[in-house]
Structure 1
Amino acid sequence: MFLFLLLVLHPKANAQIDPGQCRYPLGMEDGRIKNDDITASSQWYETTGPQYARLNREEGDGAWCPAGQLQPSDVQYLQLDLRQLTFVTVVATQGRYARSSGNEFARKYRLSYSRDGHRWIPWKNRFGSEVIMANINTYASVVKDLHPPIITRFLRLIPVTDTVHTVCMRVELFGCPWQDGLTAYSAPEGHTMMAPGYPITPLNDSTYDGVQERRRVLGGLGQLTDGVIGLDDFSQTRQYMPWPGYDYVGWRNDSLGPGYIEMEFQFDRQRNFTSMKVHSNNMFARGVKVFSSVSCVFKPRLISQWEQEPVEFHTVLDDRNPSARYVTVPLERRVATAIRCRFYFADTWMIFSEISFQSVTNPLPTLRPPLMTSPFKSQTRAPTTVTAATETSTVTSKPRPPEESNTSILIGCLVTIILLLVVIIFLILWWQYVCKVMEKGPRRILDEEVMVHLPCNSDSPQSPPLDSLDSPYERVFLLDTPTHTQERTELRAKAPDCGGGYAEPDITRCTHHQSLQSSVPHYAETLIVKLQGVTGSNTYAIPALTADSLTRKDITAAEFPRERLIFREKLGEGQFGEVHLCEAEGLVEFLGEEAPPLSDDKSSVLVAVKQLRADATTTARNDFLKEIKIMSRLNDSNIIRLLCVCVHSDPLCMVTEYMENGDLNMFLSQREIESTLTHANNIPSVSMTDLLHMAVQIASGMKYLGSLNFVHRDLATRNCLLDRQLTIKISDFGMSRNLYSSDYYRIQGRAVLPIRWMAWESILLGKFTTASDVWAFGVTLWEIFTLCREQPYSLLTDEQVIENSGEFFRNQGRQIYLSPPPLCPPPLYELMMRCWRRDIRDRPSFHSLHQALRLYSPRS
């Protein structure tokens, strides 16, 4: 119990920061950064002190103003203490407006930062410039992205002027906590690749903020911690950069000598390390491969010596797939404040773009081997008696204390443990009492207002614990809450079989006509299957498949020879897998009449291949096999089809149809509505008949899924693919593609949810049913008739979309609906509104939607 509480209090840090998602206000405007943490080199008056430098606030005289007029040579600064290491990505500034009486602002400024409060580092952008252009008036805020971002605790804003001016500033910072805890890494300086026929590619750490000594970089952070993941081709970059290879740091084998590179990592405090993730390039055609193995040693404290026993990991090398990938190195829960790793070459070059760590702070004490002064030199150790409290490199002999002293200490420890257990039991009982009291209000609300049909049979998609209905923000964070598989099995065994049919069975049938209030506890303890699949794509919600049933023997799809798959392009990726465009040689003969059409060269078939990476966990492997089993059950003209698999050896692969016309979102956004003008100018266009026929096809595919009690949970135009004949096939690739990353809302770095397409009960209650798919179908119809020109609720932020779902729950007439598309006939918009009805039982079924749309469509 005590161990469990410690693990709860110290959750795992996120494995990777995304600068595009790490953009939360850090607390200047809302006051989370306290006045005591805001200081300045000087101030003009008390009413223009540093505590008034808060964006969009008008306290005091409206801003921070340094004393006197600022000379070009002056260095005045506003300093913020963030109280923890923070990943800062954006800075916003304003001048002094003071209710229209102010006229002072900073036209330029510089940044200086410090992770320890002693060593200050000037920030530079990727072109080497320190100056940031700021305000042009006193009231408008100017928001500047930091490239590269800053990892710091202390930050100084230093106004810059070319002439004598009075300047005043209000600021806000944006970012998120730096949970990795990494404060510095050291490594050999990067090398430059020069090969005939290729551009010169400097692979140095160009944003490193430490020092360089003896061809090593020391004491800083740089591109390996900037959150930017390099592309498969290391000479290309994700955005405009000053030179090729900017996103990577690389080393040449013959330039280093020993066949490995040695890196050292220092952390803010002692941590218990679970794993290290290294994003490595694997472009083996140019002599670049993932490292063959890695060996790491640990230092429990900065003043201690390196431990003797290393952690070693051997990589499963892949010579067929040139994609860059993450390699997860397990660190066996070792305790350390510093780690030294040797990465061994597998080819001429080794190139990294990101390194991150998963750990917990305040680790439990663990038994560790004795320490030694020279790590990596020996894999054996002399037999030595070591106690759990060993912290030095030698064990000294001390006289044994009296027996009475040992007994007293033992009794004291036992009493302390007993008292802790009593306190823990009391807290658990108290918390259960509080939960029972708080459940009464929400259950009464559900009974009177929500009127949802709750799942109760083992074939229904399940949902997460519902702790509170007071805040939509709290509810949405429950969607990825794990529960124990054993508990889930027991709950499903108790649930009565209430039959199938559309959406969910009536709750009164499931509880033998008991009240809804008494049935809510069963619903509150059920489990939601995670939205992400191992390849980054959505998986269907279906009756639970146990791990025991997920053997290769149960897979009905045929085993295809993997050597006949020729990789052409990476279409998307997830945490443990990737989606590739491939040519399958001989697939027509292999599948016979069930083969898809030939590609243009008439000798091979284009297919999409989902592949599990070599570093996938056992859970990911089971999920991948489960996904194959799910896909093999689907057989409909409007559903993407599983053709064959490669599961007899690693890496595991599933081969599906490939749609040459891409997804519906991209297809429609590149076209205009058909008219005389489009015909005259040969502009790609679609007619209203085409749009209606597309809607009919999607409804047909979803009707088929509903007949199997399958719930898609991510229906959108990005997940509707088109073949050569413009036949639509519903897929699950959208989440894996970077192109649509903005369509998903990330929950504290864990699950990502398509909240703009989700029904209110899915966002607030974690409830996914066929009826919630109907809601998403209404949004998909809206996309079709806007030609995918804008995102649903484009004028609302993600947080406002979540709040709007709360308005649907409260049902007080303040909820916001998507407005009618200009091209949409009124009867079709009424059909969309029926899909968005608040009560599940009032929404139409896919069968009725399909019939209604066929009446509108001339082709059906």
Structure 2
Amino acid sequence: MHLFLLLILQATAAFGQIDPAHCRYALGMEDGRIKDADITASSQWYETTGPQYARLNREEGDGAWCPKEQQDSSDSQYLQVNLGKLTFLTVVGTQGRYARNSGNEFARAYSLNYSRDGVLWRAWKNRLGNTVIEANKNAYASVINDLHPPIITRYVRLIPITRLSTAVCMRVELYGCPWDEGLISYSAPEGQVMMPPSSPIANLNDSTYDGTRERRRLFGGMGQLTDGVIGQDNFLRTRQYHVWPGYDYLGWRNDSLGTLGYVEMEFVFDHQRNFTSMKVHSNNMFSSGVKIFSSVSCLFKPHLNADWETEPVAFKTVLDDRNPSARYVTVPLNRRAARSLRCQFHFADVWMMFSEISFQSEDTILPTQMTSPTASEESTTMITTKTATSPSATDQPDVENTAILIGCLVTIILLLVIIIFLILWCQYVCKVLEKAPRQILDEEVTVRLSSCSDTIILQTPPVPPRSGHASAGSTNTDPHYERVFLLDPQYQNPAVLRNKLPELSQSAEASACGGGYAEPDITQCTPHQCFHSNAPHYAETDIVRLQGVTGSNMYAVPALTVDSLTRKDISAAEFPRQQLIFREKLGEGQFGEVHLCEAEGLPEFLGEGSPLPDRDGHSVLVAVKQLRADATSQARNDFLKEIKIMSRLNDPNIIRLLCVCVSSDPLCMVTEYMENGDLNMFLSQREIESTLTHANNIPSVSLSDLLHMSVQISSGMKYLASLNFVHRDLATRNCLLDRRLTIKIADFGMSRNLYSSDYYRIQGRAVLPIRWMAWESILLGKFTTASDVWAFGVTLWEIFTLCKEQPYSLLSDEQVIENTGEFFRNQGRQIFLYAPPLCPPSLFELMMRCWRRDIPDRPSFEGLYQALRPHVNQ
């Protein structure tokens, strides 16, 4: 039974840690859940600019909190918010004082101080050590800043920073989620530096630790072990940019700790808890002398001023010398009650590295499982007395008791049989999810897809060896990234599978000249020959790849529509650049930025038939995609191509190109702006309509609203499909809403930091929305209208979960890719998204049809539109 429970814990361990990408809920400044009494300040200008008015998007009083007197660079005025409990803080939003156009005070920058107990205050700094956060450029637009690293705190102070003596005012919202784990500090030896002979130096210190450092030990703080960032299998690779190798791990060398042979860490919690387990994410790259710990022993302290209990909880790890993947190790803690833990992690090799540690516990304090000697003696005395006073206890056998005993034994045997079956099943599942490395090198991309005993290998065109390098038989040992597939250990000729799967064969051949993966024997064409080859391509039409602002294209389109394009070919009108007034940066990509601007005189400029909605007295807001002045010539040409493509689109559910600014640099295109933002953010802030939402004035949507949104998206995609346009990134983040809740499909999602976790990044060079992509798009680079249908099914799933959860949220990126291999093999082991509770059964059946393995079996957008339209109340 103990082994069975341990397997269950290990199976769920990877999903228990808090995720900063999803921990982004408003904490209550705007909606009033944070009370006025919990918002204080160092000073205030007037009573009507007190701290209680520092609420984002609210304009009570005189519109914001304003500190007394003008600020200069030496001032340290602050706004303090008491969150009421420990909170995992990930995002801060700020505004200035607009006061219905009567105010114009705002903070251009600020810093953060925070405290977990209200006594000891710490200064926040980002991963590069900077403490200043860029804030507002005007008084009305809100600026959202992600905190990297996030903060675990109860009290927060925002300190406005200004270079000149000027008045500043602030409105604020804080975003995050409760820190229910209750850990308030950990102590450990300082991390160390690894200097391998043939690899980069790895600095394995805890660079974001906010406690003290004394005698090469960390005391009383929190850092990278609680920031929610999981280290990769190769500890030299990092999930952050512009940091050093080994950044994601805290690591120690065995012989540097004397003769101890272990690392001792101490953990302190906010109050006494019953601990069920501890999860430690540990590296296991044994080829570099790194392994998970061999065993761990933990002592418990019920109160901070008490002595350590003498009876430890010990756990021995099953070491793995075959799979180098980093993993969570779950240590059962047997419901021991404590306020503080001291654990000794014993080395299994030269190095030991951790990236995250978390605890599962219960707030209800149960009696500790340890029994004191007094209690044990009392129990023994009671049993002895009862036995002595029991008349004729051994005179004759009790038939009834014997029958009960036999029944219990039979029950236990049946339970053991069931447990053995479950253990064997778990081992089978673990083998299915077994990780094996897949490396994409500078010169070669290789994907192995197992199909029973047959294997296919698809490769990109080889690059001739660089001068001075080894011969063609050598292999590059510096891969760009490493990801996981379910691989067959045997390699056979790919022609075997090509003959069995004509569709795959054609796709692979096409990809040689279409930019995707191709087989070795068809990759010898030059780029010019490839582009103009008559070989079949993997999309419905010859694909033109547009880098654009985001660094990837929105649409895959017929090549004939954009060949030989110059500025003279652009039909959109040239708008005076000086009439665009910057309001806010909406996002940025590899080659440019997306801005929210106010366009002066735009309705008059566009004249009759303008696609702009009735302004109702409001300013005309537009989205401006701007190419960077230093963009490559390829990016500039692609930007002009994208303008021509956008000018062709004319549908009520597709974002419209209004005008351009291309007569001088930087090149700009001006599109509609949707006041209600994107559908993902809109739905995630709402609940399904009910009596409770009406009574408490909670923002809500009805089932009819969700169905109407689905119909609009299917209508827009039906229009794109009629033009043979392939979107390639359909998701709720790319569906925008105007004031009347009309949905328009766009492509801003990739450029926004808010949705960076939705994209799978290959070392900064490419990003893929793999959780929305069909299996053939991930494995073969095959993008068609049918792959857009797959993404539409995932978008429907998002809508009917109210965007509260990322698709496949319990799977890592690597496991999502592994799952596409199961779709390819089609052996019944693929994992589908679950049916959302709000979703009608007939609609979920429609989603499942969108995720059919075989492309011809998926519905068309015309069919989807016709199937969805009857569900909407006219």
**TM value normalised by structure 1:** 0.53
The answer to whether the 8 A contact 1:188-1:216 is kept is: yes
2:21 is aligned with 1:20: yes
What is the distance in 2 between the residues matched to 1:555 and 1:256? 37
Q: What per-residue deviation string (whole Å, max 9, x for no partner) do you get for residues 721-769 of structure 1?
A: 68779799x99xx99xxxxx99998868998499xxx999943446657
**Amino acid aligned to 1:595:** D
**Amino acid aligned to 1:674:** P
What is the distance in 1 between the residues matched to 2:774 and 2:327? 24
What's the offset of the Cα at 1:70? 1.7
What's the offset of the Cα at 1:130? 1.4
Q: Report the equivalent of 2:191.
A: 190
Q: Report the equivalent of 2:584.
A: none
What is the distance in 2 between the residues matched to 1:346 and 1:555? 24
**Amino acid aligned to 1:363:** I
The aligned runs of 1:170-185 (5 Å cut-off) are: 170-185=171-186
What is the distance in 1 between the residues matched to 2:427 and 2:217? 52
**Amino acid aligned to 1:212:** R
Name the CA shift for 1:202/1:724 in 2 (closer, same or farther; >3 Å).
closer
Q: Which of residues 477, 486, 494 is equivalent to 1:609?
A: 486
The aligned runs of 1:653-692 (5 Å cut-off) are: 672-676=556-560
2:595 is aligned with 1:718: no
Q: Which of residues 454, 457, 462 is equivalent to 1:595?
A: 454
**Amino acid aligned to 1:348:** V
What is the distance in 2 between the residues matched to 1:357 and 1:388? 34
What is the distance in 1 between the residues matched to 2:169 and 2:377? 60
What is the distance in 2 between the residues matched to 1:694 and 1:164? 50
Name the CA shift for 1:569/1:339 in 2 (closer, same or farther; >3 Å).
same
Q: What per-residue deviation string (whole Å, max 9, x for no partner) do you get for residues 552-597 of structure 1?
A: 699999x99x9xx9943289xxxxxxxx99879xx99xx6xx6344
Name the CA shift for 1:67/1:306 in 2 (closer, same or farther; >3 Å).
same
Name the CA shift for 1:661/1:238 in 2 (closer, same or farther; >3 Å).
farther
Q: Which of residues 858, 865, 870 is equivalent to 1:833?
A: 865
- Name the SS for the 2:174 alignment partner: strand
What's the offset of the Cα at 1:310? 1.2
The answer to whether the 8 A contact 1:582-1:607 is kept is: no
Name the CA shift for 1:328/1:225 in 2 (closer, same or farther; >3 Å).
same
Q: Report the equivalent of 1:165.
A: 166
What's the offset of the Cα at 1:170? 0.7
Q: Report the equivalent of 2:473.
A: none
What is the distance in 1 between the residues matched to 2:423 and 2:723? 43
The answer to whether the 8 A contact 1:288-1:347 is kept is: yes
Q: Report the equivalent of 2:438.
A: 569
The answer to whether the 8 A contact 2:275-2:360 is kept is: yes
What is the distance in 1 between the residues matched to 2:42 and 2:132? 19
- Name the SS for the 2:836 alignment partner: helix
The answer to whether the 8 A contact 2:78-2:159 is kept is: yes
The answer to whether the 8 A contact 1:15-1:357 is kept is: no
What is the distance in 2 between the residues matched to 1:85 and 1:357? 15
Name the CA shift for 1:582/1:339 in 2 (closer, same or farther; >3 Å).
farther
Q: Report the equivalent of 1:259.
A: 261
What's the offset of the Cα at 1:106? 1.1
What is the distance in 1 between the residues matched to 2:88 and 2:425? 47
2:432 is aligned with 1:359: no
What's the offset of the Cα at 1:777? 4.0
- Name the SS for the 1:672 alignment partner: coil
Q: Report the equivalent of 1:148.
A: 149
What is the distance in 1 between the residues matched to 2:425 and 2:117? 57
What's the offset of the Cα at 1:350? 0.6
The answer to whether the 8 A contact 1:230-1:353 is kept is: yes
Name the CA shift for 1:35/1:834 in 2 (closer, same or farther; >3 Å).
same
2:282 is aligned with 1:276: no
Q: Which of residues 823, 833, 836 is equivalent to 1:763?
A: 836
The aligned runs of 1:331-350 (5 Å cut-off) are: 331-350=333-352
Name the CA shift for 1:275/1:760 in 2 (closer, same or farther; >3 Å).
closer
Q: Choose 308-317 or 45-54, whichever is displaced more.
A: 308-317
Q: What per-residue deviation string (whole Å, max 9, x for no partner) do you get for residues 150-169 of structure 1?
A: 11001111111222111111
Q: Report the equivalent of 1:98.
A: 99
The answer to whether the 8 A contact 2:110-2:134 is kept is: yes
2:845 is aligned with 1:773: yes
The answer to whether the 8 A contact 1:211-1:220 is kept is: yes
**Amino acid aligned to 2:237:** Q
The answer to whether the 8 A contact 1:191-1:204 is kept is: yes
What is the distance in 2 between the residues matched to 1:167 and 1:555? 61
Q: Choose 77-86 or 293-302, whichever is displaced more.
A: 293-302
- Name the SS for the 2:80 alignment partner: strand
What is the distance in 1 between the residues matched to 2:352 and 2:426? 40
The aligned runs of 1:729-748 (5 Å cut-off) are: none
**Amino acid aligned to 2:324:** P
**Amino acid aligned to 2:846:** V
Name the CA shift for 1:661/1:229 in 2 (closer, same or farther; >3 Å).
farther
Q: Report the equivalent of 1:128.
A: 129
What's the offset of the Cα at 1:675? 3.0
Name the CA shift for 1:180/1:718 in 2 (closer, same or farther; >3 Å).
farther
What is the distance in 2 between the residues matched to 1:665 and 1:181? 52
Q: What per-residue deviation string (whole Å, max 9, x for no partner) do you get for residues 439-462 of structure 1?
A: xxxxxxxxxxxxxxxxxxxxxxxx
What is the distance in 1 between the residues matched to 2:808 and 2:277? 20
Q: Report the equivalent of 1:501.
A: none
Q: Report the equivalent of 1:74.
A: 75
- Name the SS for the 1:304 alignment partner: coil
Name the CA shift for 1:677/1:357 in 2 (closer, same or farther; >3 Å).
same
Q: Report the equivalent of 1:34.
A: 35
What is the distance in 2 between the residues matched to 1:203 and 1:158? 32
The answer to whether the 8 A contact 1:40-1:78 is kept is: yes
What is the distance in 2 between the residues matched to 1:110 and 1:35? 22
Q: Report the equivalent of 2:825.
A: none
Q: What per-residue deviation string (whole Å, max 9, x for no partner) do you get for residues 230-280 of structure 1?
A: 112212211213322211111111100211000000001111111111111
**Amino acid aligned to 1:294:** V
What is the distance in 2 between the residues matched to 1:281 and 1:356? 16
2:139 is aligned with 1:107: no
What's the offset of the Cα at 1:778? 5.3
Q: Which runs of 5+ in 2 are unaligned?
A: 1-12, 380-417, 463-482, 489-499, 505-515, 520-537, 546-551, 566-633, 639-719, 729-769, 792-796, 812-830
- Name the SS for the 1:159 alignment partner: strand
What is the distance in 2 between the residues matched to 1:122 and 1:313? 38
What is the distance in 2 between the residues matched to 1:719 and 1:181? 41
- Name the SS for the 1:290 alignment partner: coil
What's the offset of the Cα at 1:835? 3.5
Name the CA shift for 1:689/1:33 in 2 (closer, same or farther; >3 Å).
closer
The answer to whether the 8 A contact 2:458-2:518 is kept is: no
RMSD (CA atoms): 5.3
Q: Report the equivalent of 2:208.
A: 207
What's the offset of the Cα at 1:366? 3.2
What is the distance in 2 between the residues matched to 1:716 and 1:130? 36
Name the CA shift for 1:582/1:347 in 2 (closer, same or farther; >3 Å).
farther
What is the distance in 2 between the residues matched to 1:180 and 1:58? 36
- Name the SS for the 2:37 alignment partner: helix
Q: Report the equivalent of 1:798.
A: none
Q: Report the equivalent of 1:850.
A: none
The answer to whether the 8 A contact 1:778-1:833 is kept is: no
The answer to whether the 8 A contact 2:202-2:236 is kept is: yes
Name the CA shift for 1:385/1:607 in 2 (closer, same or farther; >3 Å).
closer
Name the CA shift for 1:246/1:745 in 2 (closer, same or farther; >3 Å).
farther
**Amino acid aligned to 1:124:** K
Q: Choose 320-329 or 44-53, whichever is displaced more.
A: 320-329
**Amino acid aligned to 1:830:** E
What's the offset of the Cα at 1:122? 1.0
Task: State percent identity of aligned pairs.
Answer: 52
The answer to whether the 8 A contact 1:759-1:775 is kept is: no
The answer to whether the 8 A contact 1:280-1:351 is kept is: yes
The answer to whether the 8 A contact 2:207-2:224 is kept is: yes
What is the distance in 2 between the residues matched to 1:665 and 1:837? 28
Name the CA shift for 1:692/1:131 in 2 (closer, same or farther; >3 Å).
closer
**TM value normalised by structure 2:** 0.52
